[in-house]
Amino acid sequence: MMAFVDFVTNPQLMVMLLAGGAAFATIITLGMPYLSQDTLATRMKYVASEREALRAKLRAEMEDRAGSKRGTLRSTPKGFAKKLVDSLNLRTMLESEDTQLKMKMAGFRGQGPIYTFLFFRIAMPPIVFAIAAFYVFFVLDLSQPPMAKLGMAGLAGLAGFYLPNVFLQNIITRRQQAIQQAFPDALDLLLICVEAGMSVEAAFNKVAAEIGVQSVELAEELGLTTAELSYLQDRRVAYENLGKRTGLPGVKAVTTSLIQAERYGTPLGSALRVMAQENRDIRMAAAEKKAAGLPPKLTVPMIAFFLPVLFVVILGPAVIRFTMN
């Protein structure tokens, strides 16, 4: 036992062990940079591939959701309409930034819907003029001179020039109503995702996938915003584009809050909670306004259909008894 203790406590042995440990540590320190692999490029490549896969998945989902209505998010211009618009140079004469914004608000993406819209703006006046002229000259028995009838058909043809605008505005209105109905619920889902620790992009992506059952239009807009947040250098532009595409004051207020939260570092959860309540109040106010407008609308149907039947039910037995006596 004493021999083992003397062997362990031998100064020469201790110096040899310390020297060996120092040499081994020196070798490891100098050799590790050459043995370790730089995984930064691999990680960045993986992130890029995941981002592209996410974009492709979102694009496929949006196309599937909108396939029953328009086929794809972006349609390619082709056919007779494109040739006519290009030959007459209608894009220079009739197209403007307001037209492009309205097409986006209606949910039409790409150049194909713009060509179709411009084609119908130039094609509807002669079509409506021909229909109105046939109706005025051959269907109606008017005592007006031919020039007056021709003027009436001309006014109808002039109104046909604005029919595509009316049609487009109706689509925008229906789309805004669908988005407005589902937007408070989407804000609640977004608030839950953000408070759970998800990033804004992941939260938008999750809400777009969940809200599609209730509103395809809102899911499409949120999916586009997710894609823009992933590749635009300025995230503020993505939020502003969402407000412009919807055209709703509630959505614009939420995008402004998101911009301020990212710029000044304000809590995003509290802002989303307030905005969700405000949009819910807007939806309730719209429902109350519609309910308040029902009595005037029901007055004429009640007078025309309900009261005569009521009078028959009340006075019918008395009339039958009087006639029998």
- Look at residue 234 in the predicted model and tell me its pLDDT: 85
Within this chain, do residues 85 and 180 fall inside the same structural domain, yes or no?
no
State the alpha helices, DSSP H only, in 9-96. Answer: 11-35, 40-66, 80-88, 90-94
Within this chain, do residues 61 and 77 fall inside the same structural domain, yes or no?
yes
> Which residues form the domain of 163?
46-172
Q: In the chain, how many domains are there?
A: 2
- Look at residue 174 in the predicted model and tell me its pLDDT: 92
Within this chain, do residues 63 and 138 fall inside the same structural domain, yes or no?
yes
Within this chain, do residues 157 and 61 fall inside the same structural domain, yes or no?
yes
Q: What is the dihedral of CA 80, 86, 92, 94, to 10 degrees?
A: -10
In terms of Cα–Cα distance, which of 261, 271, 243, 250 is closest to 184? 250
Which of 172, 193, 227 is the last residue before a domain boundary? Answer: 172
Residue 313 lies in a domain: no
Within this chain, do residues 61 and 119 fall inside the same structural domain, yes or no?
yes
- Look at residue 68 in the predicted model and tell me its pLDDT: 46
Within this chain, do residues 199 and 261 fall inside the same structural domain, yes or no?
yes
CB atoms within 10 A of CB 181: 16
- Look at residue 70 in the predicted model and tell me its pLDDT: 45
Within this chain, do residues 220 and 108 fall inside the same structural domain, yes or no?
no
Helix (H/G/I), strand (E/B), else coil: 192: helix
Q: Which two tokens stand for residue 183?
A: 């937007």
Within this chain, do residues 168 and 196 fall inside the same structural domain, yes or no?
no
Surface-to-core class of residue 212, CB atoms within 10 Å of its CB (0-12 exposed, 13-18 middle, 19+ buried): buried
- Look at residue 34 in the predicted model and tell me its pLDDT: 60
- Look at residue 21 in the predicted model and tell me its pLDDT: 72
- Look at residue 72 in the predicted model and tell me its pLDDT: 44
Residue 246 lies in a domain: yes
- Look at residue 2 in the predicted model and tell me its pLDDT: 59
Residue 23 lies in a domain: no
- Look at residue 130 in the predicted model and tell me its pLDDT: 92
Which of 120, 141, 172 is the last residue before a domain boundary? Answer: 172
pLDDT tens for the chain, residues 1 to 325 = 556 556 556 667 676 777 777 777 777 776 665 655 555 456 556 556 666 666 666 566 655 555 544 444 555 556 777 787 778 787 777 777 788 888 888 888 878 888 888 888 888 999 999 998 888 888 777 778 888 888 888 999 889 888 999 999 999 999 998 898 888 888 889 889 888 888 888 888 899 888 888 888 888 899 888 888 888 888 889 899 999 999 888 888 888 888 888 888 777 887 788 888 888 888 888 888 888 888 888 888 888 888 888 888 888 888 888 888 6
Residue 29 lies in a domain: no
Q: How far is CA 296 from CA 78, 159, 212, 288, in A?
A: 49, 30, 36, 14
- Look at residue 277 in the predicted model and tell me its pLDDT: 84
Residue 298 lies in a domain: no
Residue 211 lies in a domain: yes
Within this chain, do residues 56 and 168 fall inside the same structural domain, yes or no?
yes
- Look at residue 167 in the predicted model and tell me its pLDDT: 92
- Look at residue 257 in the predicted model and tell me its pLDDT: 86
Q: Extract long-range pairs of 128-136: CB within 8 Å, 24+ residues apart.
A: 128/156, 128/157, 128/159, 128/160, 128/163, 129/153, 129/154, 129/156, 129/157, 129/160, 131/156, 132/156, 132/157
Within this chain, do residues 56 and 151 fall inside the same structural domain, yes or no?
yes
Which residue in the block uniquely carries the two structure tokens 């039409």? 108
- Look at residue 47 in the predicted model and tell me its pLDDT: 53
69/283 Cα distance (integer angstroms): 26
Query: DSSP state, 74?
Result: B
Within this chain, do residues 184 and 103 fall inside the same structural domain, yes or no?
no
Q: Which two tokens stand for residue 283?
A: 């939806």
Within this chain, do residues 121 and 191 fall inside the same structural domain, yes or no?
no
- Look at residue 71 in the predicted model and tell me its pLDDT: 42
Residue pair 123/88 in contact (Cβ under 8 Å)? The answer is no
